[in-house]
Amino acid sequence: MVLATKSRAPFLKDAVRPSVFDHIREHARDKHIFVSSIGGGAEHIHLLISLGAKESIAEIAGLLKGESSFWINQQKLVRGKFEWQDDYYAASVGDSELSGVRRYIQNQDEHHRKISFSEECQNFITTGLGV
């Protein structure tokens, strides 16, 4: 799943990102959502999530986005009001792809030195792939 900040504003700077990632992991765990991997840049995050039989991606996205934006604003981690974009990107991943997807998520800083987030989004739309 990929979540982008509202208008792709670079709210998730290096100093803020680890706290946000830790909080999302903790909140997900409290809600029995298994987040296998999390990574991203200043304007987006990638999450590798295992869905339970009764969970929907829309439900999970709503829970994570709503609670994390509330928490970010409550903690005053960013200047101004933090919001996620209304939409999100999600794709299913087969067992054979898990290790590659985890590497991809963990190496976002390096990845975005080669391709911007905007270019990556266009690739997602065009091909379903972020690379």
pLDDT for residue 49: 96
**Percent share of the chain, pLDDT over 90:** 71
Phi, psi (degrees; rounded to nearest 5) at 4: -115, 150
In the block, tokens 């995050």 appear at 45
Q: What is the pLDDT of residues 67-121, one digit of tens each?
A: 999 999 999 999 999 999 999 989 899 999 999 999 989 887 775 666 666 676 6
**Percent share of the chain, pLDDT over 70:** 85
CATH 3.30.70.1290 assigned to domain 2-127? The reply is: yes
Least confident of 11-20, 31-40, 63-72, 117-126: 117-126
pTM of the model: 0.84
Mean pLDDT to the nearest integer, 39-64? 93
Asked if pLDDT for residue 57 goes beyond 90, the answer is: yes
Sign of the CA dihedral 113, 119, 121, 123? negative
d(C-alpha 14, C-alpha 64), whole Å: 20
